[in-house]
């Protein structure tokens, strides 16, 4: 961009507002980060925005391996691993079923498919709280209540199906029906068309759906605290238990270090795959 173009009043104002917005959203992360590197005396003596006098990693080590969470003093590393054990299969399964559903609803339509799709859309506006009791009853009957896998994983897969189906259905609407008809004329069946034609062109929407599901599942607290217990809980629940644990001195630096640990996976995912997320959205993820 040329300097003269940047200095135009309208563009200068636009970039100024965008910069202020970025600073506003980055400020909490900055506070978390600088607090995690401070000692407790320094936290009390300096302002919340002040940089640490030197980098101190003791809070990070304590949060990871020895912080008291509930009745155990084992840090958050076990719960951090729980979240990965949960999120990876849940993302894969919900994305796969969403792709399959979207394919059926666009290129293998059946009587009542529109009604089925609009009924499924209701799932995108149903609050988390509404499904708690029915899902708890179902999991109790299945004997998987209180478990990470398959209990909590199943909750996230089912709740996410409405979103993943919507994403893939709206993307597959843009794929010409003539392409599928030609494949059927050539003798390709239901699954062959899906795996040989639809999936190879679905990379953008797969990235959108995977990032969406990863973020939603990793950051979810309500389902984790309701459907798991003890050592089966994800990291978001562990962070809450860590903050609520009463000791002689509230260790703010440990809390912030633990919260930063919990935020890093989603941050890394967006830094690595963020451009694919944007491409997928512009390619049809929110169209239709």
Q: What is the CATH number of the domain that holds 142?
A: 1.10.3720.10
Interval 198-237: pLDDT, tens: 998 888 899 889 999 999 999 999 999 999 988 899 999 9
Residues 246, 187 share a domain = yes
Number of domains in the chain: 2
pLDDT confidence bin for 242, thresholds 50/70/90: confident
Rounded Cα distance, 127 and 148, in Å: 21
Residues spanned by the domain of 155: 77-285
Write phi, then psi, for 69 (nearest 5 degrees).
-125, 110
Residues 215, 171 share a domain = yes
| 61: in domain | no
Rounded Cα distance, 21 and 74, in Å: 38
Q: What is the pLDDT of residue 288?
A: 44
| 265: in domain | yes
Report the range out of 23-37, 80-94, 239-253 with the highest average pLDDT.
Answer: 80-94
Residues 154, 13 share a domain = no
* Number of separate helices (H) and strands (E) present in the chain: 14, 0
Residue 69 and residue 239 in contact, taking contact as beta carbons nearer than 8 Å = no
Residues 263, 220 share a domain = yes
Residues 42, 177 share a domain = no
Please give the residue that has the higher pLDDT: either 155 or 178.
155
Closest CA to 82 of 282, 260, 228: 228
**Mean pLDDT (whole number) for 238-251:** 78
Q: What is the pLDDT of residue 81?
A: 95
Q: What is the pLDDT of residue 287?
A: 46
Residues 118, 24 share a domain = no
Closest CA to 105 of 96, 114, 95: 114
Residues 230, 122 share a domain = yes
Write phi, then psi, for 146 (nearest 5 degrees).
85, 5
């Amino acid at each position: 961009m040329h300097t003269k173009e940047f200095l135009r009043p309208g563009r200068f104002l636009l970039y100024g507002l965008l910069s202020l917005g970025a600073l506003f959203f980055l400020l909490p992360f900055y506070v978390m980060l600088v607090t995690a590197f401070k000692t407790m005396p320094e936290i009390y003596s300096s302002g919340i925005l002040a940089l640490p006098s030197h980098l101190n990693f003791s809070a990070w080590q304590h949060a990871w391996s020895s912080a008291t969470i509930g009745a155990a003093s084992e840090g958050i590393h076990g719960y951090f691993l729980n979240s990965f054990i949960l999120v990876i299969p849940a993302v894969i399964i919900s994305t796969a079923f969403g792709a399959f559903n979207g394919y059926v609803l666009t290129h293998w339509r059946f009587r009542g498919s529109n009604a089925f799709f609009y009924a499924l859309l209701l799932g995108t506006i149903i609050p988390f709280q509404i499904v708690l009791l029915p899902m708890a009853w179902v999991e109790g009957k299945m004997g998987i209540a209180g478990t990470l896998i398959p209990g909590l994983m199943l909750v996230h897969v089912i709740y996410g199906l409405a979103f993943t189906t919507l994403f893939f259905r709206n993307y597959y609407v843009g794929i010409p029906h003539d392409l599928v008809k030609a494949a059927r004329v050539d003798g390709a069946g239901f699954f062959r068309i899906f795996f040989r034609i639809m999936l190879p062109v679905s990379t953008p929407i797969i990235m959108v759906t995977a990032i969406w599901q990863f973020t939603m599942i990793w950051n979810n607290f309500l389902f984790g605290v309701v459907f798991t217990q003890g050592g089966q809980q994800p990291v978001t629940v562990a962070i809450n238990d860590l903050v609520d644990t009463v000791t002689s001195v509230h260790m703010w630096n440990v809390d912030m270090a633990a919260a930063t640990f919990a935020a890093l996976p989603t941050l890394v995912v967006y830094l690595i795959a963020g451009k694919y997320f944007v491409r997928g959205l512009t390619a049809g993820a929110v169209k239709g």
